């Protein structure tokens, strides 16, 4: 199926991208540096908070299969182009679109949200809430803030009134979100399989036990 010719908007974006780096595929520190002039007071990546807010504004917490059902790929790509120009278009209707782009943003971070040097601790403490929470509080500050914002966001979705509609309980949410937070560096299929379960359990423990009240109102 031959490649589509790029449209004008995509060509313009490609030209701009040479001069302005993308918020996707960068490191958290690079992203914070990118937004410093525009948003000097923000403690969190604009792209993270705005897409999260958009998911909720479109009633994503009352949408069946949220974070599991993918958004329309063309709409997700169009939104990505806009976000890289610091815009969230008005008139979005489908919460699956910002939800898919948000997952993509976490997954494409240059370094995983929970950095590699903390990975072994996470999969060791996947059943121990106190130890799991201690790992989170030992993360570099920006990683800790971004992760705690994500967990606080997911804690909205596990409220029973929401799960009744979304069919996405804490296990489902942990399953779809763990790969966006933790990356196994092994090539051994057995280890990957074994660790996948532990990664999910670790994120589930955080959703259930991490006190994120200190993130109230933080942007």
In a domain, 11, yes or no: no
pLDDT tens digits, 147-177: 999 999 999 999 999 999 999 999 999 999 9
pLDDT tens digits, 82-97: 999 999 888 899 999 9
Q: What is the dihedral of CA 132, 137, 143, 145, to 10 degrees?
A: 110
Q: Phi-psi bin for 101: left (phi > 0), alpha (psi -120 to 50), beta?
A: alpha
In a domain, 10, yes or no: no
Token representation of residue 82: 């806009």
* CATH of residue 155: 1.10.555.10
Q: Which of 47, 50, 46, 57 is nearest to 94 (CA)?
A: 57
Find the angle CA(134)-CA(140)-CA(145) to the nearest 5 degrees: 80
**Domain coverage including residue 100:** 21-215
Gap between the Cα atoms of 105 and 52, Å rounded = 11
The whole model's pTM is what? 0.89
In a domain, 128, yes or no: yes
pLDDT tens digits, 102-141: 999 999 999 999 999 999 999 999 999 999 999 999 999 9
């Amino acid at each position: 199926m031959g490649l589509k010719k790029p449209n004008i908007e995509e060509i313009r974006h490609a030209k701009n991208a040479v001069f302005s780096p993308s918020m996707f595929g960068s490191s958290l520190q690079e992203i914070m540096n990118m937004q410093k002039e525009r948003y000097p007071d923000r403690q969190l990546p604009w792209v993270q908070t705005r897409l999260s807010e958009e998911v909720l504004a479109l009633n994503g917490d009352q949408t069946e299969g949220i974070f599991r059902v993918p958004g329309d790929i063309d709409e997700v790509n169009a939104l990505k182009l806009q976000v890289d120009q610091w815009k969230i278009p008005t008139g979005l209707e489908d919460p699956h679109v910002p939800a898919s782009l948000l997952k993509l943003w976490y997954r494409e971070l240059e370094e995983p949200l929970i950095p590699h040097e903390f990975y072994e601790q996470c999969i060791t403490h996947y059943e121990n809430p106190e130890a799991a929470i201690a790992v989170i509080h030992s993360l570099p500050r920006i990683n800790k803030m971004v992760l705690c914002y994500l967990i606080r966001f997911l804690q909205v979705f596990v409220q029973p009134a929401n799960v009744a509609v979304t069919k996405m309980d804490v296990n489902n949410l942990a399953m779809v979100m763990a790969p966006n937070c933790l990356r196994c560096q092994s090539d051994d299929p057995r280890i990957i399989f074994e660790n996948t379960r532990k990664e999910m359990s670790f994120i589930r423990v955080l959703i259930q036990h991490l006190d994120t009240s200190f993130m109230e109102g933080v942007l």
